[in-house]
Structure 1
Amino acid sequence: MKKTVALHNLGCKVNAYELEAIQQLLEDRGYEIVPFAPGADVYIINTCTVTNIADRKSRQMLHKAKKMNPDAVVVACGCYVQAAGEKLEEDTAIDLIIGNNKKKDLVDILENFLAEREDGGKPSDAECKSFLVDMTHNREYETLSISKTAEHTRAFLKVQDGCNQFCTYCIIPYARGRVRSRRQSDVVEEVKRLVEAGYQEVVLTGIHLSSYGLDFPEGEKETLLDLIRAVDAVDGIRRIRLGSLEPGIITEEFAEAIAAMPKVCPHFHLSLQSGSNGTLKRMNRKYTAEEYKHKCDLLRKVYGNPALTTDVIVGFPQESEEEFEESRAFVEDIHFFETHIFKYSRREGTRAAAMAGQIPEQEKTKRSHVLLELDERRRQEYMEGFLGKELEVLMEEEVEIDGVHYWTGHTREYLRVAVLSEENLMNQMVLVTPARIHGKDCLM
């Protein structure tokens, strides 16, 4: 009888990609994937550690899994596991601990564990087993790949892992290790498999995508731009999106090169975090607000009206009213399509957590509301600029809006569009001229 496995992901798109790759490895070995509900033989939770809240959610899901079936094997993998280290071995809810760069071996580790149980141990007798690699010295790119994804039209591809930036608020370089890049040829082969499976759009993503290729030895250097060109050359791919980018990678040469490739979508997430130079310096970001604005100008020079999105942290330690106002005014001036606002969350193990001048939670909430209102206004303004224009939409799903069935999808700028149609439009490119905005985020 097939063993059943329930999967749950916490965190970023890279984590989601890795869990989908693990799912395919499990399916290839004959395991049956079931919903994350009571009754599974095995529960696998891919954890996140980006904030203390993420740590707590990871622990909660691990304990929830054990409660759903006390006799099940509970597997904890991912970033929280890597950051928490051996401390987790004392948690009786966990049977297997699998760190980053060991996920590719998860199925083998699981099968060995199950075999040991069947040879004579009772579930309650089994000790937690840990498989962790020291990520501070590991330079190996962990090979995981997919040929399908939970989404039916858009596939996320992990092409890079690790980070060398050491921003003062971030634990990720310790959990993910240093920059490691996937070989271009390997990425291209996966893109070709996804094309054969019917995907028309791919998103190149990583922990610090802009660092792609920095780890390759001299004489074998490949840059992110080289990778984009290689993916662009694959027949059948019609859209290429890029994950979060650092401002430093946007040069005139880079902007002009990607603009010359029609498959590259005019939709760019440029990480900001603050529009105040004082705050940026305490964060150990590698640019000034003025340099960041120049990068946005370069993209608008070659694309006209690209969708620019960003992240902003409010309430970073020592952020004064004046610094917050500088940040707010900067965000207003740039005219982002979307701004993702985060209240600073103290993360143990980072330099920022030990800084003096921690901002009260109430003040963080007040500042985040100011930026949320600005974000809503700017998003509406950007969307209004596309009314009455013919847009190419890749259709993704059928939804009900006000009791009526529509097909929805996204434009090249990642604007959501709804279309009335009795046909099945799944994964079709459709030209649409929207006349109005429905709610906060949908053109119709």
Structure 2
Amino acid sequence: MSTALKPAPARAGRRLFIKTYGCQMNVYDSERMADILRPLGYGMAETPEDADFVVLNTCHIREKAAEKVYSELGRLKALREERLAMGHPRMTIVVAGCVAQAEGEEIMRRQPAVDIVVGPQAYHQLPELIVRQSRRTGERLSADFAPDAKFDALPSVRAVDGVAAFVTVQEGCDKFCSFCVVPYTRGAEWSRPVADIEAEVRALAGRGVREVTLLGQNVNAYNGVGHDGAPSSLARLIEGLSQIEGVARIRYTTSHPNDMSEDLIEAHGSNPVLMPYLHLPVQSGSDRVLRAMNRKHGARSYIDLIARIRRARPDIAISGDFIVGFPGETEDEFEQTLALVREVRYASAFSFIYSPRPGTPAATMGRQIEPEVARERLHRLQALLAEQQKAFNADQIGRTLPVLLEKPGRHEGQLVGRSPYLQGVVCEGDAGLIGRIVDVRIEGSSLNSLRGQRLEHGG
């Protein structure tokens, strides 16, 4: 890790490095941790070698993700020792996020080099924890479940890096799927007030953000307090945000089928600012497996829901999540998942082998699937999903799509943007066009991106 490490140069200020694991909400949380630490004099470092303060913002969804954290902590311990020997300031090591919430005491026991452990609802306490840690007094672990206090404590001004931004609107989950640790690491469902979200989005738009993705563990269960004092639905929230000057695109993720309300379905057909892309996990095509997962919906009800959404917005792109090798899954039940995928036709999807998480009901279920069987099923599922994604992308050839240009491409005179369907799009143009939505005639496609000819500058 530290082959490039050199004797400490004279420099002002402290440096922060954050490594983010897992979901988009962790990306948002990492950005907000940087915002919290910036007033304390922390600028961003490109690598941990250059940092005085290193945060691992962790994910607990998959078993291997947690083990990667412990491996990384071992490397950071060795790096800290090497830095000290070469005259660098002592590096502070922090574990944040869902692994911190679930295994806080275990982390400090297993890796004593960790200075601070902070859960996803308590990272606003980092400044106080830093003071305690520097004095070697008080608690080094904070795992409170108080999302309202967290958001109240976050700085109102966010650093902006680009023309698209994430905004957390809802946290936690009450669904208790039998495989999932989120209710235990993020807590019960809680929604931010509409006024607070609007203020954050308005500030982002004022700093050049054109596209906002609303985040939540179960985002379409959003019911934050509206301007009238009554709970607001996600559709009403989106309608208000779409009126903010500068906001050209809105997306949201991740959703649960049972919370796909009629007004939200209608919004996809009536609100042009809401992009025609929906991530709606199903996990399995077998009703028996779905019951064992405690998903509270069936395969047919999910398929019928997709049909209703497509009637509201015929060109919508559907994305999903799948778990293969869930305890007791038979070959026939796996084939039912393949059948559902063929019927729905996904534009993109995420698929995983079931990973038992301590403390979840599924971890103690019998009939755990042999790893080689699960791997073979995942290979078949991913081949089908890749085929569908390629087909969806190929269907865009010949169309003219509005593309939000986000950054320079790999080559001179090249730009990269996003289509309404979240595909990466490469076209020609100069950096002055970044932040604009331009018409691009699509001329080619691959599994993960499109390429085309820019027709006009756009808005």
Given the two structures, how large is their TM-score scaled by the length of structure 1?
A: 0.91
Residue 155 of structure 1 corresponds to which residue in structure 2?
Answer: 165
Read off the aligned partner of 1:288 and give its amino acid letter: G
Residue 97 of structure 2 corresponds to 78
- Larger deviation, residues 246-255 vs 354-363: 246-255
Q: Tell me the distance in 1 between the aligned counterparts of 2:263 and 2:142.
A: 44
Query: What is the CA-CA distance between 1:203 and the residue it aligns to?
Result: 0.2
Q: Does the 8 Å contact 1:161/1:181 carry over to 2?
A: yes
1:236 aligns with 2:236: no
Q: Which amino acid aligns with 1:245?
A: S
Residue of structure 2 in register with 1:442 after alignment: 450
Aligned equivalents of 1:364, 1:149: Cα separation in 2: 42
- 2:33 paired with 1:26: no
The separation in 2 between residues aligned to 1:331 and 1:297, in whole angstroms, is: 13
How many Å separate the matches in 2 of 1:74 and 1:128?
A: 15
Whole-Å Cα distance in 2 between the matches of residues 139 and 13 of structure 1? Answer: 17
Does 2:219 correspond to 1:204? Answer: no
Is residue 251–residue 295 contact of structure 1 (8 Å, CA) maintained in 2?
no
Q: Using the alignment, how far apart are the partners of 1:423 and 1:173 within structure 2?
A: 43
Letter in 1 for 2:242: D
- Match of 1:21, as an amino acid? R
2:56 to 29, 42, 45: 45
Matched residue SS, 1:309: strand
RMSD: 2.2
**Contact 1:415/1:443 (8 A) holds in 2:** no
SS in 2 for 1:262: coil
**Distance 1:439-1:346 versus aligned 2 partners, 3 A rule:** closer
Q: Percent identity?
A: 28
SS of structure 2 residue aligned to 1:313: strand
Following superposition, the deviation at residue 439 of structure 1 comes to 5.8
Is residue 100 from structure 1 mapped to residue 111 from structure 2 by the alignment?
no
**Aligned to 1:105, what secondary structure does the other structure show?**
helix
Are the equivalent residues in 2 in contact too, given 1:97–1:128 (CA < 8 A)?
no
Bigger drift between 80-89 and 286-295 goes to 80-89
Could you tell me how far apart the structure 2 residues matched to 1:57 and 1:378 are? 31
- Cα distance between partner residues in 2 of 1:98 and 1:437: 43
**Could you tell me which of 245, 252, 255 is aligned with 2:255?**
245
Q: Which moved more, 1:53-62 or 1:164-173?
A: 53-62
TM value normalised by structure 2: 0.88
Deviation at 1:64, TM superposition (A): 2.3
Using the TM superposition, give the Cα deviation of residue 253 of structure 1 relative to its aligned residue in structure 2, in angstroms: 3.4
1:146–1:45 Cα change, 3 Å = farther
Closer/same/farther in 2, CA of residues 15 and 97 from structure 1, 3 Å limit:
same
Q: Unpaired runs of 5+ in structure 1? A: 118-125
Q: Is 1:416 equivalent to 2:424 in the alignment?
A: yes
SS at structure 2 position matched to 1:268:
strand
1:396 has 2:406 as partner:
yes
C-alpha distance in structure 2 between counterparts of 1:259 and 1:80, whole Å: 39
- The yes-or-no answer on 1:425 pairing with 2:433 is yes
The 3-state SS of whatever aligns with 2:150 is coil
443 and 182 in structure 1: CA distance in 2 versus 1, 3 angstrom threshold: same
Secondary structure of the 1:433 match is strand
- Please give the alpha-carbon distance, in whole angstroms, between the structure 1 residues aligned to 2:448 and 2:122: 42
Q: Which moved more, 1:103-112 or 1:345-354?
A: 103-112
Between the aligned partners of 1:59 and 1:220, the Cα distance in structure 2 is 45
Report the residue type matching 1:97 in the other structure: V
Query: What letter matches 2:222 in structure 1?
Result: Y
3-state SS in 2 of match to 1:340: strand
Aligned length: 429
Secondary structure (helix, strand or coil) at the match of 2:169 reads: strand
Query: Cα offset for 1:382?
Result: 1.2
Note the C-alpha offset of 1:443: 3.3
Q: Which runs of 5+ in 2 are unaligned?
A: 1-11, 82-89, 453-459
Residue type of the partner of 1:164? Answer: D
Deviation at 1:40? 2.3
The change in CA–CA distance for 1:200 and 1:73 in structure 2 (over 3 A counts) is: same
Cα gap change, 1:139/1:147 in structure 2, threshold over 3 Å: closer, same or farther? closer
Higher deviation after alignment, 29-38 or 218-227: 218-227
How many angstroms does 1:292 deviate by? Answer: 0.5
